[in-house]
A = this chain, B = another copy of it.
Amino acid sequence: MIKVGIYGGSGYTGQELLRLLLGHPGATVVATTSRRFAGQPVAEVYPHLAGLANLSFTDISPDEMAGQADLIFLALPHGVSMEMAPAFVRTGGKVIDLSADFRIHDVEVYGAWYGPHRAAELLPEAVYGLPEMHRERIRQARFVANPGCYPTSIILGLAPALKSQRIDPASVIADSKSGVSGSGREPQIPSLFCEVDGGFKAYKVGGHRHTPEIEQELGLLAGRGMKISFTPHLLPVKRGILSTLYATLTREAGAEELTAFYREFYRDEPFVRICPAGRFPNLSSVVGSNFCDIGVTVDKRTGRLIVVSAIDNLIKGASGQAIQNMNLMCGLDERTGLPGVPLFP
């Protein structure tokens, strides 16, 4: 039984880790932290967990946590993880960091988008935790940087086409739409029901911090540097990210052929589903599950590949993928404890 600690347990991502781990047969949560709610029972802050999670939030130090837990999830804001992670890694415990702090290998790129890095010495050790790309390295890792939600949906959507050089790397546009849980549980006007319901908007157009992370991983697939246009939007739904991806084909191909190629590419992946040619995923088909659904077609009139990918941002886009990584790091079946069936309707 893996003893798990969660840092930043009162946010939606931290809650989701706890929620999912309640059904994990090989792991148990020994502590979950929250400065704001320290001392309060989890079930008071999250009443849906009444009777299920008999924990209270704590505010224990890294050293105390190290004495109790084998593996730690960091569901903390960017910049805070880099203060916490080094201590745990030194104790020999396993760490899965859900922030952006250790996802970007190039410390200058990190600096340009996020500001100075204060734990750069750890960067070489951090493995980018996208199992479909880096499974073997994750199995060996002690320290995993869990991918961002947008990057997960975009990288999985483009990997087959990019790796097989079927698309022009300079032509990639990612138009992504996310549910509101991606903004976290901090009270702020733009996340209020009355501001979101019935609305829809783009934000951080051309300047979202997930851009360098996406470009890094797409660059690895393309075998060259990449610059993409990435536009995030805020959907009036709680969960889910759907990315519509555009790129110019380098040679003619049909929707059937590319769909078959995608299906083959992801043949052994337990959490990637390819839609039949001409069909595209709906967010509501993945919500509540760790699946990434992908639909592929060709716009014959313009010679462009169009891919649509969909994930649950809190599961495959964050906490589910983190547990998938935990399973790999701990030698368990990758699917253990992960929800197999989406919730619909």
Footprint of B on A, CB under 8 Å?
12, 15, 19, 22-23, 46-52, 170, 173, 175, 177, 180-181, 185, 187-189, 191-203, 205-206, 227-229, 231, 233, 235-240, 242, 244, 246, 273, 275, 279-289, 293, 295, 297-302, 304, 306, 308, 314, 340-345
Residues of B within 8 Å of A273, CB to CB, are 50-51
Given the known A-B contacts A185-B194, A282-B47, A344-B19, are A200 and B298 also in contact in the complex, defined by CB atoms under 8 Å?
no
- Nearest B residue to A192, CB-CB: B191
6 nearest A-B residue pairs (beta carbon): A199-B284, A187-B187, A194-B345, A48-B285, A206-B299, A201-B282
**Nearest CB of B to A171, in Å:** 9
- Stoichiometry, as copies per complex, reads 4
Structural contact, A198 and B196, CB atoms closer than 8 A:
no
Can you list 21 pairs linking A and B with CB atoms under 8 Å apart? A22-B341, A47-B275, A47-B282, A50-B293, A170-B302, A173-B246, A177-B177, A180-B193, A187-B188, A187-B191, A197-B236, A198-B284, A199-B283, A200-B237, A201-B242, A202-B308, A205-B299, A205-B308, A229-B246, A231-B244, A288-B288
Most B CB contacts (10 A, CB to CB) among A200, A237, A282 go to: A200
Q: Which of B50, B196, B301, B345 contacts A206 (CB 8 A)?
A: B301
CB distance from A308 to the nearest CB of B (A): 5
Partner of A201, one of B23, B238, B283, B297: B283
